Amino acid sequence: MTEATTVFLVGAGPGDPELLTVKAHRLLQDADVVVYDRLVSAEIMALIPAGTTRISVGKQPRSHPIPQHEINQLLVRLAKAGRNVVRLKGGDPFVFGRGSEEALELVASGVAFEVVPGITSASACAAAVGMPLTHRGMATGVRYLTGHCREDSELDFDWHGLTDPSTTLVIYMGMANVGQITARLIDHGADPKLPAAAINNGSTPAQRHIVSTLDSLAADAKAAVFTGPVLFIVGQVVTLHALLGVETEQAQDNEQPNAAVGS
């Protein structure tokens, strides 16, 4: 009987291959099979040696061609067949990556696993545009939120608690629901003119961003016609972008009253 191998739940980071960890790179070189998500960049996929089996299990918003329970079972089958398996996820496996769900299935099936952390989009995107998530006198904490819930159910947050002005909010996967999120925050006491930003394809050559306010964020993000992943940052730290961010000449020429567009 073939002995089950260890499944490595590996974070690919935000997309820039130079932000991939040394351990993640080594595991990709040694893998028999890489089971990967949609948000893993082409540049990182290019690091996988020729001949390695690649299995795409990527999801789109409101479109999950391969349900999560089937992904879980796939990892178990591959490990029990003795394959060296890397489960490659954008960002960090344990930050809105469903890595914990896969880990629980592996434990229940008697398969060993190891988590290899990756740089999550929040810290990568914030650094790329000069918006620190915390800053003395502006933000003493940060909260990560998902912009959609399980099976596209109603967003059910502690909206009043999210309006703490000393906390930076970072919203993952929120493009479809940003209008609802900003409206609910304002309804529960957030300042409509609170600085806010949207960052598209952060840390990659295709990076773009807008700087806006809470009440204009949804409209400005829609007008930007983003393609690819978008991360939202809400809080006073967004104002530091004017001092710490690097704008291109084109971005400065296209600056608008409600939104500054960067690349």
In this predicted model, what pLDDT tens digit does every residue of 116-141 receive, in sequence order? 999 999 999 999 999 999 999 999 99
Per-residue pLDDT tens over the stretch 209-229: 999 999 999 999 999 999 989
Query: Which pLDDT score, from 0 to 100, does residue 100 have?
Result: 96
Q: Does residue 146 lie within any of the structural domains?
A: yes
Task: Give the separation between CA 70 and CA 75, rounded to whole angstroms.
Answer: 9
Instruction: Please check whether residues 126 and 86 belong to one and the same domain.
Output: no
Q: Quote the tokens at residue 118.
A: 């990756």
DSSP assignment of 183-221 equals HHHHHTT--TT-EEEEEESTTSTT-EEEEEETTTHHHHH
2 domain residue, yes or no? no
Could you say which of 84, 99, 116 is where a domain stops?
116
- Binned at pLDDT 50, 70 and 90, residue 246 comes out as low
Residue 142: domain span:
121-262
Q: State how far the Cα of 31 lies from the Cα of 215, in Å rounded to an integer.
A: 47
Q: Label residue 61 by pLDDT band (50, 70, 90).
A: low
- Rounded to the nearest 10 degrees, what angle do helices 68-80 and 99-108 cross at? 50
Going by C-alpha positions, the residue among 172, 73, 68 that lies closest to residue 123 is 172
pLDDT, mean of residues 26-52: 96
> 107 and 128: one domain?
no
Q: Are residues 71 and 191 in the same domain?
A: no
The enclosing domain of 179 has a CATH number of 3.30.950.10
The last residue of one of the domains, among 84, 116, 148, is: 116
For the chain, counts of helices (H) and of strands (E): 9, 11
The answer to whether position 49 is within a domain reads yes
Positive or negative, the CA dihedral 117, 103, 114, 1 is negative
Residues 212 and 152 in one domain: yes
Q: 215 and 238: one domain?
A: yes
Q: Is the domain of 125 the same as that of 247? A: yes
Please measure the distance between the N-terminal and C-terminal CA atoms of the chain and give it in whole angstroms: 54
Same domain assignment for residues 126 and 104: no
1 lies in some domain: no
Q: Please tell me whether residues 137 and 96 are part of one structural domain.
A: no
Number of domains in the chain: 2
Helix axis angle for 217-224 and 178-187, nearest 10°, is 170
Q: How far apart are CA 99 and CA 10, in angstroms?
A: 9
Report d(CA 226, CA 178) in Å as an integer. 13
Residue 25 lies in a domain: yes
Question: Whole-prediction pTM value?
Answer: 0.88
% of the chain at pLDDT higher than 90: 82
Please check whether residue 234 lies inside any domain of the structure: yes
The CATH number that applies at residue 64 is 3.40.1010.10
Residue 181 DSSP symbol: H
Tell me if 114 sits within 8 A of 85, measured CB to CB.
no
**Residues 43 and 18 grouped into a single domain:** yes
Q: Six-digit token pair at 139? A: 């933000």
Is 190 found in the same domain as 88? no
Q: What is the dihedral of CA 220, 223, 224, 227, to 10 degrees?
A: 120
Look at the alpha carbons of 237, 238, 242, 246 in this order and tell me if their dihedral is positive or negative: positive
> Distance of CA 77 to CAs 24, 105, 128, Å?
22, 11, 39
- Domain assignment of residue 24, yes or no: yes
* 48 belongs to a structural domain: yes
CB 118 within 8 A of CB 155: no
Q: What is the pLDDT of residue 64?
A: 53
Query: Given 66, 101, 116, which residue is the final one in a domain?
Result: 116
Could you tell me which of 49, 8, 58 has the C-alpha nearest to residue 29? 49
> Which among 58, 52, 65, 202 is positioned nearest to 131, based on CA atoms?
202
Q: Which residues are catalytic?
A: 37, 59, 173
Where does the pLDDT of residue 155 fall: very low under 50, low under 70, confident under 90, or very high at 90 and above? confident
How confident is the prediction for the chain on average, in pLDDT?
Answer: 90
Side-chain half-sphere exposure of 244, counting CA atoms within 13 A: 14
Same-domain check for residues 62 and 185: no
- Same domain assignment for residues 162 and 250: yes
